[in-house]
Amino acid sequence: MKPFLPALILALLFIWTNGIFASPNKNLICHGLLFGKSDSLRKSDSLNKKEKQVRPALKICACQVLKLQSANYKARNFALYSERTSRKSYTYDLHKAKSILEKEKKHLADLFYDKLDVLDELVEVTDCRSMFIKMKKQHKSLILYDIVDADIKK
The mean per-residue pLDDT over the stretch 69-94 comes to 85
By mean pLDDT, which of 2-11, 40-49, 99-108 is the weakest? 40-49
Answer yes or no: pTM beyond 0.85.
no
Average pLDDT score over the chain: 75
Report d(CA 28, CA 38) in Å as an integer: 6
Q: Cβ of 74: how many Cβ atoms within 10 Å?
A: 11
Average pLDDT rounded to a whole number, residues 106-110 = 88
105 vs 9: CA distance, rounded Å = 82
Q: Domain ranges for the chain, please list them.
A: 4-52, 59-149
Residue 115 CA neighbour count, 13 Å, CB half:
11
Q: Which of residues 57 and 143 earns the better pLDDT score? A: 143
Q: Listing from the earlier edge strand, what are the strands of the sheet with 115-124?
A: 115-124, 59-70, 73-85, 143-149
Say which amino acid occupies 142: L
Beta-carbon neighbour count of residue 116 at 10 Å?
19
Question: pLDDT by residue (tens digit) across 111-134?
Answer: 888 888 999 999 988 889 999 999
Which pLDDT band holds residue 43 (cuts at 50, 70, 90)? low
Confidence of residue 28 (pLDDT cuts 50, 70, 90): very low
- The pLDDT, as a whole number, for residue 149 is 86
